Amino acid sequence: MAIVSLQKCGQYDNKIIKEKILTGLEQIGFSLAELKNKRVCLKPNLLMPVNPERAVTTHPEVFRAVAQIVRDYTDNIVLIESPNFFPLKPTIKKAGLAGIVDDLKIEVADIKVTETLKFPAANRYKSIEISQAFFDVDYIINMPKLKTHGFTYYTGAVKNLFGTMPGLSKSRMHMTAPSPMEFSEFLLDLYGGLLNGFEKPKKLIHVMDAVVGLEGDGPGPTGKPKKIGAIIVGDDAVALDYVAVNLVGLNVKKVLTITQGFKRGYGVKSPDEIKVIGESLEDMRINDFVPPKSVLSGGIIWPLTSPTVKNLFVPKPVPRADSCTLCYNCMKICPAGAITEADGDKVPRYNYRKCIRCYCCLETCPEAAIDLKKGPLRWLMPT
């Protein structure tokens, strides 16, 4: 049985958020005394350098509250996170965390040094290179933001752990695991490794920022902030994601890290083994949360690997000349080499025969200048 604490929290007020997180930790049965003099990792979502109001990154008040709570028990706190390809320190600053890191004397890890996390029981990825800093810690406090995701439909507790891998190695994973199913299985191998693969085992606690989430075409600035009014706390990432997805009325069957996660059984194996404490899920449910338009039914479209067939069915990323600044972030992150310079045009050139529809370009574009255009036969596919 996994307990997930659902707390009502309508604003980013330090006192209120701290109280909600403390209640959540108590409700899931976590004793803060365990943290005494331990080395604790804080793992927010810092996808890219954007203002907190864009709801792309973990809000600084959630980060501050968790850091203050931990600081009462240990001085040994380290922030470990890897933005997609932006440098970490400017990202911390833009996301509003720099003052908190300084005030609370939080170490910022060098994420570029890596070590191999070995997990022989993984389905496919038995060795994964992650930031070495994770090997030294005793606890990982994962602080995901509740967001939609163009490729995986939803991103939360399991997906936020992808940031344990440094920089561009993340987007390159899309080439070895190009379908949502393969990619979700990879994420679960990583999650299993973080739970069971360290010689010095770590405890993972998840504190989700769902005060304001991101709907529409997330997880980057193309998504739209959406007030949800919740803080969710748990120690089983799959169970917490199940509660979060239900809270915003998304289709659980499309979240393959949940459906496959139940089958893995690293924690709970079904919704029957999840107990929600605190507020009632039904009372807090959001009924008008907008899903991403890129994702159809999980797994169905992805046998369509032929570029021609894919172009007919699967939405493609199309840059808009009215907003594009030719920064070429999209080109730098594209794992398929499908984007080249504008060469006289107002936007970069996209080769849709090469494009694997990972939507890394969309999530990285700082101007939200990339739209999704439906394939001409998209209407034939189930939603």
Cβ-proximal residues to 268 (8 Å cutoff; 6+ apart), any chain: 1, 2, 236, 238, 239, 262, 274
Residue 61 CA to residue 231 CA, distance in Å, equals 12
DSSP calls for 333-377: H-TT--EE--TTSSS-EE-TTT-----HHHHH-TT--EEEE--TT
Q: Is 54 one of the binding residues for ligand SF4 (CB under 6 A)?
A: no
Residues 311-350 that bind ligand SF4 (CB under 6 A): 317, 319, 324-330, 334, 336, 338-339, 347-348, 350
Is-contact 63 99, C-beta < 8 A?
no
Beta-sheet pairing, 107-108 with 339-340: unpaired
Instruction: Candidates 367, 371, 378, 381: give the one binding ligand SF4 (CB under 6 A).
Output: 367
**177 scored as a contact of ligand SF4 (CB under 6 A):** no
Specify the residue, 85 or 198, whose C-beta has the smaller distance to ligand SF4.
85
Span 199-258, contacts to ligand SF4 by CB under 6 A: none
Work out how close the CB of 43 gets to ligand SF4 at its nearest, in angstroms, rounded to a whole number.
24
Q: How far is the CB of 351 from ligand SF4 (least distance, A)?
A: 8
Residue that is written with structure tokens 């990323």 in the block = 317
Establish if 290 lies at the interface with ligand SF4 (CB under 6 A).
no
Look up residue 12 and give its two tokens. Answer: 């980013």
**Applying CB under 6 A, does 360 fall inside the site for ligand SF4?**
yes
Nearest CB to ligand SF4, comparing residues 44 and 49 = 49
CB-based contact 172:335 (threshold 8 Å) = yes
- Contact between 35 and ligand SF4 by CB under 6 A: the answer reads no
Nearest residue to 228 (alpha-carbon basis) of 298, 151, 150, 144: 144
**HSE-up of residue 200 (Cα within 13 Å, Cβ side):** 11
Smaller CB distance to ligand SF4: residue 86 or 134? 86
Q: Which of 94, 159, 170, 357 binds ligand SF4 (CB under 6 A)?
A: 357
Q: Which residues make Cβ contacts (< 8 Å) with residue 236, sequence separation at least 6? A: 2, 4, 267, 268, 274
Q: Least separation, in Å, of the C-beta of 317 and ligand SF4?
A: 5
- Smaller CB separation from ligand SF4, 35 or 214: 214
Binding footprint of ligand SF4 on the chain (CB under 6 A): 317, 319, 324-330, 334, 336, 338-339, 347-348, 350, 355-361, 365, 367, 369-370
